[in-house]
Structure 1
Amino acid sequence: MELRHLRYFVTIAEEQSFRRAAERLHVSQSPLSRQMKDLEEEMGVALFEPEGRGIKLTAAGKAFAERARGILASVDAAVDEAKGVAEGRLGTVVIGFETGTTFMGALLSLVAAFRKRAPRVGLQLVPMSSVEQWTALRQGTIAFGYGAYAPSDDTLVHLEMSRDRLGLLLSTDHRLARRKKIRLRDLDSERVLLQPRQLYPRLHADLITAARAQGVTLHVTAEVLDLEALLALVVIGDAVTFLTEKFWEPVLHTSLSWRPVEDLHIHLSEVVTWRAEDASVPVVRALIESAREVSPIAQSATKRASSSSTDERKRRDQRRTS
C-alpha cells in the first residue's frame, strides 16, 4: 500500500464516483478502478458498493476513509514542517551570547529583526564566552554567536555590530571620581576587579599591555564572574573596574560613575559570528541579514560602498561626455 493509494481512495470517497475522481486526479478511470480493486484485495475487505450510477462507501470503507484522511494530513504536515525547516521558517535556532550584552548594544535589536523575518522559528539564547562560542560553532551546537571578540579562524565569519571605548567605573565617593582627568598612572595603587581571564583573555592582555606602556602595574585583586557582584564591590569602594561607556549607560546606578582614562585607547567591539559553510542555510542567512539591518557599522559600510559606487558611475559618465 502506497500513499498514492490513500490519496486516490480518499478522492473517490469524496466524489462518490470513479469518473469524477479520475477527472479530479487527472488520471484514467480504468487504472484508478484497478488500483482500488488491488487495494481491496490487499486489505481483504470491500471498500465500495454500487449506488445508482455511482458508488458509496461500505461501513469498512467509511472507517478506513477517516483513518486515511488522518494519515494524509499527518504526512502533509510533516512535509510542510520539513520544508519550513529547510527554508528557515520553522525549527529552533540556538544563539550563544556573551553575558552582559543582553540589555545593551544591538543584541535585542537583532533578535527583534530576526523575529520579523522568521516569526515561527524558536529562539534559544545560551550564555557563553566568545571562546566557548567558537568551539560550539565548530561543533554545530549553536548556529550563531554574539560576543566581544572576533575569531581568527578561517572557518568562522564575523560581522562587527558596535565599537565602544573602554573606561573606568568607580564609586562616586572614590577619590578619583573628583578628578577632571584620569590617567593610567593614577591607578597604580588601586585595587582592580575584572571578569575572568578565561572568558576575556584579550581584554586582560590589552589592559596589562597598555598599563605597562605607561610604566604602571595594574593590581588585579580578583576576577569576578558575576557582573552584579562585581558592580556591588565597586559601589562600596572596594575596587574599580573597566567597562565600556555604552555598557555603563543602562546600569544607571547613582552610586557609580564612568570616567574616560586619558591614555587608555582600547575599544571593545560586539560581533556576531557564524560558520562560513552555514552562510547559505536559510535560518542563518536570516540572522545575518537581521544583523546587517541593525548594525550601525554595517549600515555605514553599505552607505560608503553605495556612495563610492555612485561617484564611480558619475566619473564614468563624465569621461564619456568629455
Structure 2
Amino acid sequence: MELRHLRYFVTIAAEQNFRRAAERLHVSQSPLSRQMRDLEEEMGVELFEPEGRGIKLTAAGKAFAERARSILASVDAAIDEAKGVAEGRLGTVVIGFETGTTFMGALLSLVAAFRRRTPRVGLQLIPMSSVEQWAALRQGTIAFGYGAYAPSDDALSHLEMTRDRLGLLLSPDHRLARLKKIRLRDLESERVLLQPRQLYPRLHADLITAAHEQGVTLHVTAEVIDLEALMALVAIGDAVTFVGENISEMASQTSMTWRPVEDLHIPLSEFVTWRARDSGAPVMRALIDSAQEVRAPIRPGVSHVASRPTNPRRPKKR
C-alpha cells in the first residue's frame, strides 16, 4: 500500500463516483478502478458498493476513509514542517551567550530583529563562555554564539557587534566619585571585583598589565559570576568594578556611577559567531541579517584587537 492509494481512495470516497474522481486526479478511470480492486484485495475487505450510477462506501470503507484522511493530513503536515525547517521558517535555533550580554549588549535587540524576520522559529538561549560556544558550534549543539571574544578558527565566522571602552563602576558616595579625574594609581588601595577569570581571561590579563605599567597592583578581592550580584555589591560601596561605558545609562538608573580611567585604554567588544559552512542556510541568513541590522557603529578612538581567551594578549597600540 502506498500513499497514492490512500489519496486515490479518499478522492473516490469524496466524489462517490469513479469517473469524477479520475477527472479530479487527472488519471484514467480504468487504472484507478484497478488500483482500488488491488487495495481491497490487499486489505481483504470491500470498501465500495454500487449505488445508482455511482458507488458508496461500505461500513469498512467509511472507517478506513476516516483513518486515511487523518494519515494524509499528518503526512502533509510533516512535509510542510520539513519544508519550513529547510526554508528557515520553522524549527528551533539554539544560541549560546555569555552572561552579562543580556544587560548591556546587542543580544536582546538581535533576538527581537530575528523574531520579526522568522516569527515561527523557536529560540533557546543557553549561557556559556566564548570557548564553550566555539566547541558547541563545532559539535553542532548550538547554531549561533554571542560572546566577548572572536575565534581564530577558519571554520567559524564572526561579526563584531559592539566596541566600547572600559571604565570604572562605583557607588556615587564612593571617595573616587569625588575626583575630577581617576587614574589607575587611585585604585591602589581599593577592593576590586571582577567576573571570573575563566570567562574573561583577556580582561583580567589586560587590566593587570595596564596597572603594572603604571606601577599599580590591583587588589581583586573576589570574582563574581552573576552580574546583578556584582553590581549590587558595587552599589552598596563594598567595592568597585570595571565595565564598558555602554552600561553607564543603566548604572545611573540603579544609583551607580560610571567613570573613565584616564590612563586605562582597554576596549571591550562583543561578537556573534557561527559555523562558516552554515552561512548560506536560510535560518542562518536571518540571524546574520538580524545581527547586521542591530550592530552598533564602531565608536571613533576605541580600537580593538581580537584575541582568544586561551591566549590573552594586550591590544596593539595605535
TM-score by length of 1: 0.89
On the 8 A contact 2:251/2:258 being kept in 1, the answer is no
CA distance in 2, matches of 1:277, 1:208: 38
The equivalent of 1:65 in structure 2 is: 65
* 1:30-78 Cα deviation digits (max 9, x unpaired): 1111000000011111111111211111111111111100000011011
Cα deviation for residue 184 of structure 1 reads: 1.2
CA distance in 2, matches of 1:122, 1:251: 32
Output aligned runs, 1:44-55, within 5 Å: 44-55=44-55
Secondary structure of 2:280's match?
A: coil
The equivalent of 2:158 in structure 1 is: 158
The equivalent of 2:279 in structure 1 is: 279
Q: Which letter maps to 2:121? A: V
Q: Which letter maps to 1:244? A: G
Q: Which letter maps to 1:133? A: Q
The equivalent of 2:77 in structure 1 is: 77
Distance change in 2, residues 1:255/1:52 (3 Å) = closer
Identity of aligned residues (%): 85
Secondary structure of 2:34's match?
A: helix
Secondary structure of 1:297's match?
A: coil
RMSD: 1.6
Higher helix share: 1
Secondary structure of 2:136's match?
A: helix
- The total of aligned residue pairs comes to 299
Extract unaligned runs of 5+ from structure 2: 301-318
Cα deviation for residue 280 of structure 1 reads: 2.0
CA distance in 1, matches of 2:253, 2:16: 75
Cα deviation for residue 104 of structure 1 reads: 2.6
On the 8 A contact 1:16/1:55 being kept in 2, the answer is yes
Cα deviation for residue 204 of structure 1 reads: 0.7
On the 8 A contact 1:160/1:297 being kept in 2, the answer is no
CA distance in 2, matches of 1:76, 1:253: 53
* 1:145-189 Cα deviation digits (max 9, x unpaired): 111111112211111111111101112222211111111121122
CA distance in 2, matches of 1:27, 1:37: 16
Residue 194 in structure 1 maps to residue 194 in structure 2: yes
The equivalent of 1:167 in structure 2 is: 167
Cα deviation for residue 205 of structure 1 reads: 1.1
Cα deviation for residue 253 of structure 1 reads: 4.8
Cα deviation for residue 120 of structure 1 reads: 0.7
The equivalent of 2:117 in structure 1 is: 117
Q: Which letter maps to 1:54? A: G
Secondary structure of 2:85's match?
A: helix
Q: Which letter maps to 2:47? A: L
TM-score by length of 2: 0.90
